[in-house]
Every structure is written in structure tokens, then in C-alpha cells.
Amino acid sequence: MADIIQLLPDHVANQIAAGEVVQRPASVVKELLENAIDAEATSIQLIIKDAGKTIIQVIDNGKGMSDTDARLSFERHATSKIRSAEDLFSIHTKGFRGEALASIAAIAHVELKTKRESEELGTRIEIEGSVVKGQEVTVTPKGTSIAVKHLFFNIPARRNFLKSDNVELRHIIDEFHRVALAHPNIAFSMINNGSETFNLPDSNYRQRVVNIFGGKTNEKLVPVEEETEVLKISGFVGKPEFSRRSKNEQFFFVNDRFIKSPYLNHAINAAYEGLLKEGSYPSYFLKLTVDPKTIDINIHPTKTEIKFDDEHTLYAILRSAVKHSLGQFNVAPVLDFDRDNNLDTPYVYKDKSSSTPSIEVDHSFNPFQSDTPSSKSGGLSSKFKKESTAGWESLYVGLESKSTKTEVDFSNLEFESDPEKQELFSDDSAMSQGQTTYQFHNKYIISPIKSGMIVMDQHRAHSRVLYEGFLKQLTVKEATSQQLLFPLKLELSNSDMDILTQLKEDLEHTGFIFSSFAENSIEIKGVPVNVPESEVSIIFEQLISDVEQEVPDTNFSATDLLAKSMSKSLAIKTGQTLTKTEQEHLVNSLFACKEPSVSPFNRVTFITMRVDDFDKKFM
């Protein structure tokens, strides 16, 4: 019998390797940006069309390649970065496997132009699916430009597997952020579909963070600096009161390489213990420098994990450095003890407030409001006072405006719903005496029913009521707006703007009116009737972070997400005292809902306790 083992042809091997290296357009972006950095560029431009599906181009002013190197760079295992296996233990470059360009060229149309400083003319090479289509001498500036077109053109299955442009673009932007944060001393720009999304001049680290995440970031950064024998830490953490509802602003860099480390993330969380509101996450932008010999970078090209020789020590140093910074900058006392204290402030902390003698509350600090003339509230406390009234108003207004409509809008829904519900409140003697509800712990509302009583979670119940209201507004597009006396201006980062631009139309259907939708800010002149002005910036922040979390995963529904996000922001909070009228409104409105039993996030809104249950306990 003939031998059956064959060597795979190079282009097949490259395609297989490409499957590992190139998962999506963002992987190409990462590889090309890293190559430019390794080539010592001081200025790097990224050009994207159609979320990288049509073109991904990186232009750098680095050292360029000779014509032989240019041709060789597309060969597998062709690298200028290591010469022997020993070099693997002291890597100072991003790449070293010599696989990226070969892989990319196997599954796309690639055009390379490159020139070294010392040479008059450069080289241009064109490759399609590993096949060299041409190589010629060309006029081109010093540095390298690589354009990757029609990614996955020869692997339709992979191409079809790509997510929507929004999702792919987010991944690209994430990679861009990571690389740009790791190298503040390099200028970066990004052009997406012909318009410049980022222009980051070479700067210090703080400016880089601010340039990426928006001007308002500056005031929330607390520096962290620590140097020990094994580890140097530098960078910033976010003040606790600016903690976000998403994990998007969490960055570790080890020796200028972005990494993910749940373990070190835990160390940061430990440093913030007692300082964060439930469901919020600290921002951090931390650069760790360690001896390359003490780490094991997982040499899988796309992985961002890393192993440290002495994790426990790093954990301890990191935690104490962050804790120290938070303490030193006196940020802990800025915590708002007024707001949602039952829910948000951990008990340990709540009772400790008097034991910190040197409290310096920043009275001008106002976490969510932009400082436009329209912001009426003054200091922190007045803001939250206003806000809590606003919360009440919102409950009242929301319910009131609906209660007039309720009979009309939801009558048939009620009819459809469980007939038992109709009877829930029917013959209760307590009801006729005006004693239908009771609030306890500023969290639950009890209401007697025929067979016993229900205990309702006020926040979840109100979320459900608002959610169905918003969904309806979004579907029938009939929202009413209230004009603001002064337009409200919100400053936003580019990526936040991208998100809001996609949601603009839906937002308008809920009742928002925008007077301008400019590059880095929006101006709002009208808001939905049931949205208090003081809540607007909170709603937008929540919305942006919800989208950021949602988008990478699914073909999410913008409408549903918007309704969920707004109801979450606006629902009365745990910790708010409600009047009898408000309690009753809430109970009635909940049972006028289509799905009263769960919150928009599928959590139980109320439980029923039957008289029998009590009877049993008294046996």
C-alpha cells in the first residue's frame, strides 16, 4: 500500500493557523498595531471600513522593511524578534511567533507598502490568499502601511459567522483602546468609515486615559504609584463614587501588554471593600512592571492571560497600594450616606461613618450632573435631596399619567391575565377601611389579599411598571415630552457617542428631544414626562453601560434594552419611604401590568403568603 502521510501545502497550513490567530477583524487590528509598535513607530494610524469587513489598514512611521524582509514577513515562522528559544524568556516585543502576517495573508487580500529610512524607494507587495500577486518598487514614506481587505474572502463560513458591524466595531475599538493605553507616548488615530473617531497625540498616561474616555474622566482619577523589588505599579484608579455599572474601564497592563487577570482584579475589589455601591465596579488603569523572567505570557497569540511566579505577593502589594491611594486622596468619605443607604452601603461601613474624624465632604462634587447653567442643584446633599424627591415625583407622575390611561391601555391585558388576580383585592375588609398597604424596611410593601397577603419588592415592582410603559411608548411611538427650561448638555466620549447615535431614534420615541447631537456632546431640550431632569444624566450613563455590556454578546433589541435600562434607573429605590397613596398606586399599577410577577430582569416582584401558611405556624 502506498504511503498516505503528506505535508500540508503552506497555504493550507497558513489557513489553519489563521483560524487560531484571526478570529475577527479586531484580531487583525491587534496584530497590525502591535507590529507597528514593535517597529518603533511614534505615530500610528488605523483606518477601518465597515467594521473591518471591507478594509483594515494600519499605517506607521516605524523602521520599515527591506524588500527581502518585506517578502519574508509573510512566511510562517518568519520573525525578526527572536533568534533562539532562549530569547523567549526575555521578550520585550509584542510579537515573536512570526505567524500573524502569514495567517492574515492566507485569508484576505493584503497590500503592503514599506520603506526604510535609509532607502530612496520602498517596496509594494500584494498577496491574496497566500498567493503573491505582485511585488514592485514604489514611492512611499518611511514606515509601513498594511491594508487588509476582504477578510475571510476564501472562508465564507467564517465571514458569515461575523457579528453585526456594531459588535465587530466595538471589538475593534476595545483593541484600539488597549494598545493606545499601553503606549501613551505613541500618537494614535483611528478613522472609521471616513471620519476620525480618535485622535490621540503622544502624551502622558493620564492625558491618554482622558483623551480616550472623555474630559470628565480627569476628575475621577486617583494616582497609584508603588515600587517594590518585585513589582512596580503606576497608573490610576477611579474614585469610588464614579464607579461604573459596567466593567469597561478596567485595564491591567503587564510590561505594556494588556492582560486579563481575575485574580488581580479581585485584589482591586478588595481594596475598594465597603466603598462601592452594589452592582458597580471600580475603574482602573494600572500598569504593572515586572521582570519578564518572573512571568509566563501564555504564548497563544490571542490569549491575554499571564502567569506570575509569585501571585500572592503581587496581590498583596496591589491591594495595599490601591487602598493607600484611595485613603490618601481622601476619597472614601465622599461616599453618599444619604442615598439608598439600606441597599447600597454595606452595613459595616454604614455604622462607621462617625469614626472617621477628618471627613472632608466635597460639597461641590456632583457625580452625574454636567456643570451647565441648567444644573440647579448645588452640593452633594442638596442633589440627593432633590433626587429623592424627584424619585417620588417620578413614581407619582409615572403612575398618575398612566392611571388615567390604565383603564384604557391595560384593561384588556388585565382581562387576559390570570382571572384569580381580578379577585385578589376584591372583598377585603381592610381595603374598605383604607388600610390596604403597609411598607416595611423601606423596601417591601405588604398588601392583604383574599387568601392572605402579598409582599412586594418596591424597586422591582416599579421597574416592571415603568418597563411596560416604556416598551409601549417605544412601540406605538406616542410619548409625550416635557420641555426643559434650560437645555441640558452632556459631555461624552467618542465611544459613548457612537452608542447614543445608534439609540437616538429610540430615545426620541420615549420622549427625549435633542437640540444638538454634536461630536462629543449632546444637548437635550425635552425629556419624557415621567423622567425628572435630575435623573437624565444617570439614565444616559446607565444606558451606555448597559449597551456596552450587552452588545458584544447578542443581536440584542435596542428597544428592549432601552426600556429595561430606563426603568432600572428610574424605579423607586430600596430605602425610599412611600406614602400610602404611592404604595397603593404601585400595587395597582403592578397588577395592571402584563407580566406583574417578574421584574424586567426576570426577578420575582412579589410573593404570596397564604392564611393557611400562617395558620400552620400558629398550630
Closest residue to bound Mg ion by CB: 95
Binding mask 48-67 for ligand ADP (x = CB under 6 A): ------------x-xxxx--
Which is closer to ligand ADP, CB of 113 or CB of 244? 113
Length of the chain as a residue count:
619
- Cβ proximity of 442 and 577 under 8 Å: yes
97 or 323: CB nearest Mg ion: 97
What strands, in cross-sheet order, belong to the sheet with 606-610?
A: 438-440, 444-449, 452-457, 606-610
| 98 touching ligand ADP, by CB under 6 A | yes
With CB atoms as reference, the residue minimizing the distance to ligand ADP is: 95
Please state, as a whole number, how many other Cβ atoms lie within 10 Å of the Cβ of residue 519: 10
Min CB(50)–ligand ADP separation in Å = 23
Asked if 524 interacts with ligand ADP (CB under 6 A), we say no
Cβ burial 401-439 (10 Å sphere, 16+ → b, else e): ebeeebeebbeeebeebeeeeeebbeebeebeeeebbeb
Residue 101 engages ligand ADP in binding (rule: CB under 6 A): yes
The item of Mg ion, ligand ADP, none sharing an interface with residue 96, based on CB under 5 to 8 Å by kind, is: ligand ADP
Name which position in 97, 109, 183, 509 contacts ligand ADP (CB under 6 A): 97
Cβ nearer to ligand ADP, comparing 15 with 569: 15
Q: How far is the CB of 306 from Mg ion (least distance, A)?
A: 18
Spatial CB neighbours of 102, under 8 Å, sequence gap ≥ 6:
14, 17, 74, 75, 76, 77, 78, 130
Which residue, 306 or 490, is less far from Mg ion as judged by CB? Answer: 306
Cβ neighbors of 555 (< 8 A, separation 6 or more) are 163, 164
Instruction: Enumerate residues 30-59 that contact Mg ion by CB under 5 A.
Output: 35
Residues 66-95: x/- map of binding to ligand ADP (CB under 6 A)? -------x----xxxx-------------x
249 binds ligand ADP (CB under 6 A): no
Among 62, 64, 95, 122, binds Mg ion (CB under 5 A): 95
- What separation in angstroms does the CA of 152 have from each of 10, 14, 51, 278, 487? 17, 13, 14, 43, 47
The values of phi and psi at residue 579, to 5°, are -75, 170
Instruction: Please count the other Cβ atoms lying within 10 Å of the Cβ belonging to residue 599.
Output: 21
- Name which of 43 and 502 has its Cβ closer to ligand ADP: 43
Q: CB under 5 to 8 A by kind: which of ligand ADP, Mg ion, none does 39 bind? A: ligand ADP
Q: Which of residues 137-156 bind ligand ADP (CB under 6 A)?
A: 144
125 with 111: CB under 8 angstroms? yes
Among 37, 56, 100, 233, binds Mg ion (CB under 5 A): 100
Q: Does 13 participate in binding ligand ADP (rule CB under 6 A)?
A: no
Shortest spacing between CB 40 and ligand ADP, in angstroms: 9
Cα–Cα distance between 405 and 480 in angstroms, integer? Answer: 13
Whole-angstrom distance, CA of residue 245 vs CA of residue 569: 11
The residue among 81 and 216 lying less far from ligand ADP, judged by its C-beta, is 81
> Which residues sit at the interface with ligand ADP, rule CB under 6 A?
31, 35-36, 38-39, 60, 62-65, 73, 78-81, 95-102, 144
> Which residues sit at the interface with Mg ion, rule CB under 5 A?
35, 95, 100
